[in-house]
Chains A and B, each alone.
Chain A
Amino acid sequence: MTMAWIEAVNDFIAQGGTVVKLILVAAVMLWTLVTERYLFFLWVYPRLQRQWLQRWHQRRDKHSWYALKIRERLISEARLQLRRTLPLIKVLVSLSPLLGLFGTVNGMIHMFDALAVFGTGNARAMATHISHATLPTLAGMTLAIAGLYASQRIERRVEAATRHLSDQLHFE
């Protein structure tokens, strides 16, 4: 079962050429980061949230300018923690179509090289390069769409968590 799966991935890489490998690396990075975020929301963040709430509730002064600034600081710290890898996720998402395009251009160049060597007679020599040209675009697009969805979800979750925290930090 796993062997067949690995085989399929190998086939895809062989058909797609070098750039598909790059996209695959980007995909692994992206999904690792996304998983890390979700694990953070699940396990780490609740603990941090309790700490911040505790720190706020220990204060007596909850209404001066100082208190306001300290509350802002707490919220900002929370947001920083929550968003930590989001920029990286976003840039990976925006890079993957570019990588696909790169693969396409690369494949086209090789195709025209084959054309330069064999002329138009050898359609088979061109066919490999055409698959090298199209598969990276496919892979890049797929990754970008799926990654876009994931990054939007995370962003929404960050906003919701921040809002929730600022609701809980009562400022009188």
Chain B
Amino acid sequence: MRFPTWLLAACLLLPISAAAADLDQLLAEVKRQQTRLSQVDRQREARFLAEKQRRQQLLAEAKARLKALEKQAEDLKAEFETNRQALLELEEKLQASSGVLGEIVGTVRQVAGDLKADLQQSLVSAQYPGRAARLAPIADSKRLPTLEQLQTLWTLMLEEMTEAGKVVRFQREILASDGKPFETDVVRIGVFNAIAAPGYLRYLPETEQLMVLSRQPEGKPLRLARDFLSAQGDRAPVAIDPTRGVLLEMLTHTPNVWERIQQGGLIGYIILALGAIGLVIVAVRLTVLWRVGKRVEAQLEEVEQPRDDNPLGRIFLTALGAKSTDPETLEALLDEAILREIPPLERGQSLVKLLAAVAPLLGLLGTVTGMIQTFQAISLFGTGDPKLMAGGISQALVTTMLGLAVAIPLLFLHALLASRSRTIILILEEQSAGLVSQILEKHRG
């Protein structure tokens, strides 16, 4: 690179021209600088000292404050201690003076809890819903009950007591047995039962509602209940469930007639079918015999005009149509005619008798098969669960019952049939000969 020549020359020339004069100046300058510096140093020292003093003062102040605070802490600690002592004493005093009260509060809480459970289950709550909820703050809270709450407690108690002894009629929405709500008149009998137009009601504690029992008690109790609902005057008889609904509840578990028959199983159906067949036969035979009997009686009234629409008349016709009146021939003819007439009269009877005899036997068969099932259940599950065995046993008994239920009417009806046909047959066997003789004697004059 190439510097400009004039610039280089200027640089070399400058110091040489001022050299002698400047050294003095420099010295003076240095001396002046030295005095200035020492002055600055002194000033700084003074400042530092002042600062130090100030700090020391601050320190002293802080120390004094610490001391003061420590003293304050000491004081407060002492005060705390005395206060604690006082508190302890007061607490002790409180404990001593509230000892009986604590027990009372516990009792109140327990009573409230019991009453709450009672009210939840009580039928009266269906009339006045929400009572149990009012007791919840007393029974569940840890605080002392207020005066108002205590009053609630005993008012509810008294209310339950008086309501338990009343028969009341009130309007309320109840549930039908299929769950549909409807408004109706309800009569509550104490805490035992509630009755509405459809019959006895069931109380549902969960929703404080009334529901119609799905199966009403049969016969008299239900009739009494319905009469009671519409009864006028002071008193009327009614059937109540003293177990507060347990018995009525039981009722919904017991099977009705059809369910009972189903318990009998296949053999039960067979027995019933046989019974139905027997009844049909009996009905047919009874009408036939009744008609024949009427005709025979009519024929007995008019011995002179034999008709062929009845057995007696046919026997007369046979006897009177005989070519000879020789007693022996006549007797033989009559016997033959009678023998011809008897079987149609006795038709079906042996079958009815057979059915009446077979039905109890089938029932026995059903019993045995039911017992076999029961014992199988025992061998599988042991005797621990009586319910398991009871089901099988009742199944066994149902067939026996069905057998008897079929046999008894069939036997009765068979007896009716037999006595009816027997009467007619006796007339044919023992009286026709006499009647024929009577006619013949008359003809001969």
Residues of A within 8 A of B (CB): 61, 64-67, 69-77, 79-80, 87-88, 90-91, 94-95, 98-99, 101-102, 105-106, 108-110, 112-117, 119-120, 125
Q: Which residue of B lies closest to A96 (CB)?
A: B408
Contact A112 B408 (CB under 8 A): no
Say if the beta carbon of B229 comes within 8 Å of chain A: no
Known: A109-B260, A109-B401. A73 touches B431 (CB 8 A): yes
**For the complex, is B194 an interface residue (Cβ under 8 Å from A)?**
no
In the assembled complex, how far is the CB of residue A139 from the closest CB belonging to chain B, in whole angstroms?
Answer: 15
**Does B436 contact A69, Cβ atoms closer than 8 Å?**
yes
Asked if residues A102 and B434 are in contact (CB atoms below 8 Å), the reply is no
**List of 7 A-B pairs having minimum Cβ-Cβ separation, nearest first:** A73-B434, A76-B430, A91-B415, A66-B437, A65-B327, A87-B419, A69-B433
Contact check, A77 vs B411: say whether CB atoms are below 8 A apart: no
Cβ contacts under 8 Å, B412 to chain A: 91, 95
Question: A102-B404, A106-B401, A116-B390 known; 5 other A-B pairs, CB under 8 Å?
Answer: A65-B331, A75-B430, A88-B419, A110-B254, A115-B387
Question: Size class of B's contact patch?
Answer: 35 or more
Is the CB–CB distance between A109 and B441 below 8 Å?
no
Total A-B residue contacts, Cβ distance less than 8 Å: 104
Bound CA span A19–B330, Å: 55
B residues contacting A by CB (< 8 A) are 250, 253-255, 260, 327, 330-331, 386-387, 390-391, 393-394, 397-398, 400-401, 404-405, 407-408, 411-412, 415-416, 418-419, 422-423, 426-427, 429-431, 433-438, 440-441
The residues of A that contact B405 with a CB separation of less than 8 Å are 102
> Does the CB pair A80–B426 fall under 8 Å?
yes
Between-chain CB contacts (< 8 Å), 7 pairs: A66-B327, A66-B438, A72-B431, A87-B418, A98-B411, A112-B397, A116-B394
Complexed CA–CA distance, A105 and B416 (Å): 26
Give the contacting residue for B433; candidates A72, A90, A95, A116; CB below 8 A. A72
Contact of B386 among A61, A73, A102, A119 (CB under 8 A): A119
Distance (Å) between the CB of A107 and the closest chain B CB? 10
Question: Shortest Cβ distance from B272 into chain A, in angstroms?
Answer: 15
In the complex, which residue of chain B has the Cβ closest to the Cβ of A75?
B430
Given A66-B441, A70-B434, A98-B408: A80 and B394 interface contact (C-beta under 8 Å): no
Known contacts A106-B401, A113-B254; A119/B387 CB under 8 A = yes
Instruction: Give chain A residues whose Cβ lies under 8 Å from the Cβ of B429.
Output: 76
Given A70-B434, A73-B435, A117-B253, A109-B398 contact (CB < 8 Å): yes
Give the complex CA separation of A113 and B408 in angstroms: 24
B408 touches A99 (CB 8 A): yes
With A77-B431, A80-B423, A91-B411 known as contacts, the answer to whether A112 contacts B393 (CB < 8 A) is yes
- Contact across chains for A88 and B415 when beta carbons are under 8 A apart: yes
Return chain A residues, CB-CB under 8 Å to B435: 73
Contacts of A72 in B (CB 8 A): 430-431, 433-434
Partner of A105, one of B255, B401, B427: B401
CA distance A116 to B415 in the complex (A): 39
* Chain A CB within 10 A, most for which of B398, B401, B440: B401
Least CB separation from B386: chain A residue: A120
Contact A109 B419 (CB under 8 A): no
A117-B250 in contact (CB<8A): yes
Question: Judging by beta carbons under 8 Å apart, are B401 and A73 in contact?
Answer: no
Q: Identify B426's interface contact among A70, A76, A88, A110, CB under 8 A.
A: A76
Chain B neighbourhood of A109, CB < 8 A: 260, 394, 397-398, 401
**How distant is B318 from chain A, measured CB to nearest CB, in Å?**
15
Give the chain B neighbours of A71 by CB distance below 8 A. Answer: 434
Q: Which residues of B contact A88 (CB under 8 A)?
A: 415-416, 419
* Distance between B400 CB and nearest chain A CB, rounded to angstroms: 5
Is A74 a contact partner of B404 (Cβ separation < 8 A)?
no
Q: Which residues of A contact B427 (CB under 8 A)?
A: 76, 80
Best-buried of B418, B436, B437 by chain A (most CB within 10 Å)? B437
Which chain B residues border A70 with CB–CB below 8 Å?
434, 437-438
Question: Contacts of A112 on B, CB cut-off 8 Å?
Answer: 390, 393-394, 397
Interchain nearest-CB distance for B267 vs A (Å): 15
How far does the alpha carbon of A112 sit from the alpha carbon of B386 in the complex, in Å? 10
Least CB separation from A73: chain B residue: B434
Chain A neighbourhood of B416, CB < 8 A? 88, 91
- Shortest C-beta distance, A57 to chain B (Å), equals 16
